[in-house]
A and B are shown apart, each in its own frame.
Chain A
Amino acid sequence: MLKWLDFPAWLPENASTFGEGVDKLFVLIYWITAVVFIAVMAVLIGFMIKYRFKEGRKADYIEGSTTLEITWTAATTVIVFGLAMLSLPQWNKIKVPSQFPSSPDDVLVRVHAKQFNWDMTYPGPDGKLGTTDDLTLENHLHVPVNKVVHVELTSEDVIHSFFVPQMRLKQDALPGRTINVWFEATKTGKYEIPCAELCGFGHSAMLGYLNVHTDDDYAKWVEEAWQ
C-alpha cells in the first residue's frame, strides 16, 4: 500500500542529463502536495469526528475570518509562484532552442514520424541532412552515450509525439513543421520510443527504439552502417 503512495518510486529509470532536474521537481511537488493533502485530510477527518452532530449542542455562528482568508491566499500564492520560478530554468534548458547546448561533437538526427513508424535519418559523414550520404533507418535510433543529440522532429501525416520515458523527453511532431529537441543520454541501453499522441488505430503499435551505445560501439555501428 505504501508503495502505491510513493509516486517517485514508479518513475522509469532516468538516463538523461536533464532528467535529474525533472525528477527533483517531481519529488519536490510530490512532497509539497503530500504534506498539504495529509494536512487537509487530517483536518477534515478531525472536524468530522469532533464536530459531528450531538444532541443538544448547537453549531457556532462563524461567518468567516479575513485574517485566515488573507493568510491562506498569500501562502498558496507564494508556494505556487515559487514552484513556477524553480521550474523555469529546467523548462528553458530542455525546450527553448536558444538555450540548447551546442558543440561540434554533437550528434544530429532527423526523426520523421508517420503512421505508424518512426523514420530516423542520419546525416552521414558530411554531418548534413538532406545530402546523398544520408541514411534512413526505420524505428531504430542509434546514439552515443554522453553526447548531446539534436533531434529534428517532423511528421508525415498527423500529430505524433516523440516520447522517451527514460530521457524524460516528450515532444509532439507536427506535420509541416520542424521542431528541435535535444537530449544527452547518460546510460547505455535500449529504450523504447513510443508515440504519446493519439495518431490513429495503430497508435499503440507505433514504437521505435533508442539504442544508446558506448563510444566504441557507436563507432562500430557507424562503420557498419556506412561501410
Chain B
Amino acid sequence: MNDHANESHDHHHEESFVSKYIFSLDHKMIGKQFLIYGLIMFMVGGGLALLFRWQLAWPDKPLPMIGVSQEYLDEGEAVSEADRRWERWGEDDEENWFERTMYGGIIGPEFYNALFTMHATIMVFFVVVPLLVGAFGNFLIPLMIGTRDMAFPVLNMLSFWTSVLGAVILMAGFFVPGGHAAAGWTGYAPLSSVPDFTGVIWGQNLWCMALIVMGVSSLMGSINYITTVINMRAPGMTYFRLPLVIWSLFIVAILLLLAFPVVASALALLLFDRMAGTSFFLAEGGGEPLLWQHLFWFFGHPEVYILILPGMGLASEMISVFSRKPIFGYKSMVFAMISIAFLSWVVWGHHMFQSGMNPQLSMAFMTTTMLIAVPSAIKTFNWLGTLFRGSIQFTVPMLHTLAFVSMFVIGGLSGIFMANSPVDIHIHDTYYIVAHIHYVVFGGSVFALFGAVFYWFPKMFGRHMNAALGKIHFWISFIAFNGVFFPMHIIGVAGHRRRIHNPLDTDLAHLQGINEFITMCAFILGAAQIILLVNVFWSMFKGRVAEQNPWHANTLEWHAPTPVPHGNFDQIPRVYHGPYEYSVPGAETDWIPQTQSDGEPSRDEPIAAGATAD
C-alpha cells in the first residue's frame, strides 16, 4: 500500500500478504481493518435507513426504478417491465427473496420492522463501536501511551475476526425464511422471544448469536485495552499525562467489560426461550417480560456512553490542537468522564418509565439521569473554555469537532426532556427520542469520528485526505443532518410514534410534509457519505504525502515516524509532561511534544490548574 512501509521494516522479517494485511498482529493494521470494516457497515446501515425513510415519506409507494408502476397498483394490469417481473415472481412456485421481503418494490410492515431493527443494530454494534473503539482504540492506544503494540496482539487479531464473524452471522439473517429480526434493536420480549408474534424464526436467533459473538469480540478488545493502558505506558506517562482520548477509551473498555456479560446472559435466555422452550420472559410460563428490559437496559445505558465517550475524547484532542491551547480543566474533564461512567450504571430505569416498572422507582432514576447533565455540562463548558482566547484553525477536523460540540449540546438538552418522567409520558416512544439518540450518536460521536478520521489519517496511511472534499462533505453532512433530525423533535412532540410503518394509519397526516422533508434530507445525507468514502479510498493511494507531525500536536503518536513502522518507535519515548502544552509562554514553538524535556515549565507539578486532588 505504501512504498515507504518496507524501508523501516529492515530489522523485521518479511511478512506475507496474509500476515500483513489479513491476520495481522500489528495494532495499527488491526485499527485500519476496523476502520474499513466500520465504514462498510456504516454504508450498509445507512442504506437500510434510506429504505425505511422512503416508506415513511411516501407510505406504501413502490420504490423508484425497481418497484411496480402506480397504474399496476391502481388497476392491477401490468404495464411496465417491472410490473411483469414482479407478477412473474408472484406466480412462481419458488418464492424468491425480493418477493418475500418487498413485493412489488413496496416495503411492507415486516420488512420495515426488520429494516429499522437492523439499522439500529448495525449502527450501534457494528459501526460506532468498531469505528470508535475498534479502529481508534487499536490505532491510538499503543501509539499515544508510547508502547510498541497491544498487550495481547493475538487476542487483538481474534477480536477483529470475531467481529467479522458477527457481521457475517448478522447479514445472513436477511436471507433466511421469515426475514430478519423485527423486534427493534432493543428486542423487547415477548415480541422477540416467541416466533409466532412476529413471524420471524431464524432471523431473531441469528440476531442474538451475532450480538453475542460481537460482544465476545468487544470483550477481547476491552481486556486488551485495559491491560495495555495499565501496564504498558511509556516511562513518565502517568495517568494524568494521558491524552483524554486514551482516558475515554480506557473508561469505555471498563464499561464494555462490565456491561457485556449482562446482555450476553439476557441474549442467552432469549435464545433458550426461542429454541429450547423455556419461558424466562413469558408471563404464562412464570417468566417476566420486564426482566428482559432490566437486563437489556442495564447493559444498554452504559452502551450508550460507550458510543459517546470516545467521541468526547477524540473531540477533546482536536479542539485543543486546533485552538493551540491546553484543554480547559484537564482533570475535571477526566473526572467528568469517570462520573458519567459511574452514573451510567444507575440510570437504566429511565428507559422504562412507562414500562410498568414500579412507578415509585422513577424518582430515583429521574434524579440520577438528571445528574448526568452535570458532567455533560462540565465537558461542554470546558470545550468552550478551551476555545476562549485560543487561536482557532478551521481545519476539517476542527469543523467536525465544533459540529460535535454544538450537536452534543442539542442532544444533551433534549435528553433533559426525556429524563423528566412526567414529560416523558408524552414523548416516550415518539420521534423525540429518535431525534435525541441521533443528535448524541450521529451528531456527536459520528461527527467526532469523521473529524478523527481526517485528523489521524496522515498517521494511519502516511497521506493527507483532501481538504476541499473534506469541507464539502462536512457542510453537506452538517446541514442535511440537521434537516433530518431536527424536525423529528417536532413531529415527536406532535405525537408521531416511532417504529410505525405507515404514519397515515393514524391522525398524523398534517405531519406528512415534514416526513417528506426529512426523507429528502436523509437522501442528501446518505449521498454525501459517498464523498467521504471516495476521499478515504482515493487519499489512501493518491493523497498528499504527510510529514511526521502535520498538525503540530504534542501527543506521542506524532513523535513516531510516518508511516509508523512495525514496533512504532525507534526507541520507547520518555514523557516529560501532559499532552496539551500548547502556546506555552516563552517557548519557541506553540507546541511542546510530550517527549521534549527542555523548556518544560512545570515538570514536577500537577499538570492542570484546579488539580488539587493529587
- A residues near B (Cβ < 8 Å) are 4, 7-8, 10-12, 21-22, 25-26, 29-30, 32-33, 36-37, 40-41, 43-44, 47-48, 51-54, 57-66, 68-69, 72-73, 76-77, 80-81, 83-84, 87-88, 90-92, 94-97, 115, 157-159, 161, 163, 165, 168-177, 179, 192, 194-205, 207
* Distance of A102 from chain B, by nearest CB (Å): 17
Task: Tell me if B101 is interfacial: C-beta within 8 Å of chain A.
Answer: no
Taking A52-B394, A157-B190, A175-B284 as contacts, is the C-beta distance between A26 and B417 under 8 angstroms? yes
Q: How far is the CB of B204 from chain A (nearest CB, A)?
A: 12
B360 within 8 A of A: yes
Closest Cβ of chain A to B407, distance in Å, is 11
Query: Which residues from B are CB-within-8-Å of A26?
Result: 417, 423, 426
B392 within 8 A of A: yes
Q: Report how far A197 CA is from B498 CA in the complex, Å.
A: 8
Q: Chain B residues with Cβ under 8 A from A65's Cβ? A: 328-329, 385, 609-610
Q: Is the CB of B374 within 8 A of A80?
A: yes
B283 engages A84 (CB within 8 Å): no
A197 touches B429 (CB 8 A): yes
A48 to B406 CA separation, bound complex (whole angstroms): 12
Do A47 and B384 touch across chains, with their CB atoms under 8 A apart? yes
B-side interface residues, number (CB < 8 Å): 103
Q: Is the CB of A174 within 8 A of B425?
A: no
The answer to whether A40 touches B497, judged by C-beta atoms less than 8 angstroms apart, is no
Contact B487–A80 (Cβ < 8 Å): no
| Residue from B381, B507, B582 in contact with A192 in the complex, judged by beta carbons closer than 8 Å | B507
- Name 14 extra pairs, CB < 8 A, besides A159-B191, A165-B495: A29-B416, A40-B409, A59-B325, A59-B391, A66-B612, A81-B367, A83-B420, A87-B422, A157-B190, A157-B194, A194-B506, A198-B184, A204-B501, A204-B503
Query: Are the CB atoms of B585 and A61 closer together than 8 Å?
Result: yes
The reply to whether B420 and A7 contact each other, CB–CB distance below 8 Å, is: no
Q: How far is the CB of A72 from chain B (nearest CB, A)?
A: 5
Instruction: For chain B, residues 445 to 471, give those with C-beta under 8 angstroms from any C-beta of chain A.
Output: none
List residues of B (500-522) whose CB comes within 8 Å of A's CBs: 500-503, 505-507
- Confirm or deny: B402 has a beta carbon within 8 angstroms of a beta carbon on chain A: yes
B188 within 8 A of partner (CB): yes
Contact A194 B422 (CB under 8 A): no
Q: A204 near B384 (CB under 8 angstroms)?
A: no
Chain B residues closer than 8 Å to A76, beta-carbon distance: 373-374, 377-378
Q: A198: which of B188, B409, B607 is its contact (CB, 8 Å)?
A: B188
| Contact of A73 with B582 in the complex, beta carbons under 8 Å | no
Residue contact A62 to B374, C-beta cutoff 8 Å: no
Q: Does B533 contact A (CB under 8 A)?
A: no
CB neighbours of A77 from chain B (8 A): 371, 374
Contact (Cβ within 8 A) A159 B391: no
- Distance of A57 Cα from B390 Cα, bound (Å): 9
B308 to chain A, nearest CB (A): 17
- Hey, which chain A residues are within 8 Å of B384, CB to CB? 40, 43-44, 47
The answer to whether A69 touches B378 (Cβ under 8 A) is yes
Q: A63-B609, A115-B197, A176-B289 are in contact. Are A33 and B499 (CB under 8 A)?
A: no
| 6 A-B pairs (CB sep. < 8 Å) | A25-B420, A47-B390, A64-B382, A84-B363, A197-B188, A203-B109
Bound: A59/B320 CA distance, A: 11
A95's nearest neighbour on chain B, judged by CB, is: B359
Asked whether, in the complex, the Cβ of B381 is within 8 Å of the Cβ of A198, the reply is: no
- Is B326 located at the chain interface by the 8 A CB criterion? yes
B417 touches A33 (CB 8 A): yes
Contacts of A81 in B (CB 8 A): 367, 370
CB distance from B601 to the nearest CB of A (A): 9
Q: Which of B530-555 touch A at CB < 8 Å?
A: none
A72 contacts B392, CB within 8 Å? no
Tell yes or no: B8 within 8 A of A by CB.
no
Kindly list chain A residues whose C-beta atoms are within 8 Å of the C-beta of B377.
Answer: 72-73, 76
Known: A47-B384, A198-B191. A12 touches B495 (CB 8 A): yes
Q: Indicate if the CB atoms of A157 and B354 lie closer than 8 Å.
A: no
Taking the closest CB of chain B, its distance from the CB of A62, in whole angstroms, is 6
Which one of A12, A41, A115, A195 contacts B494 once the chains associate, using CB atoms below 8 Å?
Answer: A12
Contacts of B505 in A (CB 8 A): 204-205, 207
A69 in contact with B610 given A4-B490, A51-B390, A58-B391 (CB within 8 Å): yes
Contact of A63 with B367 in the complex, beta carbons under 8 Å: no
Complex formed: what's the CA distance from A72 to B414 in Å? 19
Tell me whether B198 is interfacial, beta carbon within 8 Å: yes
User: By the criterion CB–CB under 8 Å, are B500 and A41 in contact?
Assistant: no
Taken residue by residue from 401 to 426, chain B's Cβ proximity to chain A (1 for < 8 Å, 0 otherwise) reads as 01001100110011011001111011
State whether A47 touches B388 (Cβ < 8 A): yes
Cα separation A96 to B355 with both chains bound (whole Å):
13
Cα-based distance from A37 to B323 in the complex (angstroms)? 22
**Cβ–Cβ < 8 Å partners of B199 in chain A:** 201
B429-A60 in contact (CB<8A) = no
Q: Within 8 Å of chain A (Cβ to Cβ): is B590?
A: yes
B191–A161 touching, CB < 8 Å: no
B278 at the interface (CB under 8 A from A): no
A72 near B381 with CB under 8 A, answer yes
